[in-house]
Chain A
Amino acid sequence: MELAEISPSRLAAAYLMALVPLAIFLWYGVGLVRRTVIALVRMAVQLLFVGLYLSVVFELNRAWLTLAWLGAMILVADLSVLRGSGLNWRRMGAPLFLALAAGTLAPLLYFTGIVLSLPAVLKPQYAIPLGGMVLGNCLRADIIGLSRFFHALRDQEKPFLLALSQGASLGEALRPYLQTAFRAALEPTIATIATIGLVSLPGMMTGVILAGADPLSAIEYQMVIMLAILSGTALTLWLALWLARRAAFTPWGTLDERVLTETGA
């Protein structure tokens, strides 16, 4: 089975689908027309560039180029996690980059090297989409987990200080805050895993089916990617919080509030 090609004229026809929401927005004065049009144009331009770039990367098939691509994705994810969770890049930028890199590359290499046993573990056709999926999920979970952790610590400082005064090590005093952060960050992933296939067909599985594979291969890939996402997310958050001990706390064990960019609620 071959993937049906979408010619430029047919792609243009696909864009006609956007007329439905635009018409509704216009009719009811929702005020989203401008943003929708900009978003649709951005999507076209961004994906066009990614498509062109990826064809070059796939064509050249060099491990360093794949790594550079992954590195750029991790950097972008790093910046959006920092912005999304209100953290200072000077303090948390480098620790979070390391955490995201390890949390993406470890499950990715396990996937390609051990589960798939590919001869080239960084074959771009596998490494880039799989790495991207793991990273995208890490990003979402890290924003939730890190902002919950640091804001809880700042807003509910008293039990933390009480624990330190009772002789707790920094790790012991942070334990309840870590539990909250992990729960908030990983519960959505666990819920997705628990309902997968019931609510909707997951994106990766759909892609593999569209590419012509049989549904059973598709579910195998889907299961592995969910496992990679789960372990990658947990690993990233754990590592980010572990590295934060040096970056975000004073030697006295108290939260260094300069780690948070905004001072309000």
Chain B
Amino acid sequence: MQILELHHIRLTARGRVLLDGFSLTLERGARCTLTGPSGSGKSTLLRCILGFTEPAAGEIRIFGAPLSPRTVWPLRRKMAWVPQEPELGNGTALEAIIRPLRYRANRGLGARGRRIRELAAHFGLPEDVLGTPVTKLSGGEKQRVALIAALVLDRPLLLLDEASSALDPDSRAVVAAHLRSLEKTAIVSVAHDPDRFPLGGRVVELPVTRQPDGTR
């Protein structure tokens, strides 16, 4: 079963074409790292998959269902997203992780206290960091908190946007190894330098798109 299908996607921003005719399919448990120059539409592509931005052309299917205003709500419950430079709202790091578990759609998941503590320990976040207000966390701590918040949701599709950019090399290796071990999770990861955050699977380089007037 295809978890994610992108067909002939065209992305535009402020009149510029970022990406044109882009297609990609991802099976259950498959990994794909998207790379490419800044402004090539990597992050925008993830936002399209989440239904936050509509592509100018093309079709997105998730679990076989075409992404539409009607299907996006149940489909978001099959994805988890770690945004670039995550902003986690108010409260402590632990609250930022627990808050999504209280959404009606996620109530079936339970409290997940043990899993949260295991992941935090594994990713090198001490207990006191979990009690710290999110606004006081460092960039690397925020990223790990956002990763834990995404992982405890146990979604079959994980969307990572530069999810390791603020991590030190040791944490990055631990996080990458953990993600590689998730056999049932399909992952789309946006990374400037895929070698520094190896998740296995394909590496797809987004092209610099030639504008209709011939400029780059």
Contacts and interface: CB of A to CB of B under 8 A. Distances in A.
A200 interface: no
A251 B69 CA distance: 5
B86 A158 contact: yes
Given A165-B79, A166-B149, A252-B51, A172 B88 contact: no
Interface stretch (B12-20, B102-110, B204-212): B102-110
A169 B87 contact: no
Contacts of A253: 51, 72-73
A159 B87 contact: yes
Nearest to B74: A167
B89 interface: yes
Contacts of B149: 166
Contacts, number: 72
B76 A165 contact: yes
B77 A167 contact: yes
A156 B76 contact: no
B52 A162 contact: no
B120 interface: no
Contacts of A176: 89-90
A94 interface: no
A254 B197 CA distance: 31
Contacts of A172: 103-104
A164 interface: yes
A252 B69 contact: yes
Nearest to A180: B90
A159 B72 contact: no
A158 B76 contact: no
Q: 9 closest A-B pairs (Cβ-Cβ)?
A: A251-B69, A166-B100, A159-B89, A167-B105, A158-B87, A165-B81, A167-B77, A252-B51, A168-B103
Given A176-B89, A252-B72, 15 more contacts: A159-B88, A161-B83, A162-B86, A162-B89, A165-B79, A166-B99, A166-B149, A166-B153, A168-B100, A168-B103, A168-B105, A169-B104, A253-B51, A253-B72, A253-B73
10 contacts: A158-B86, A162-B146, A164-B52, A165-B76, A165-B81, A166-B103, A168-B100, A169-B105, A176-B89, A253-B73
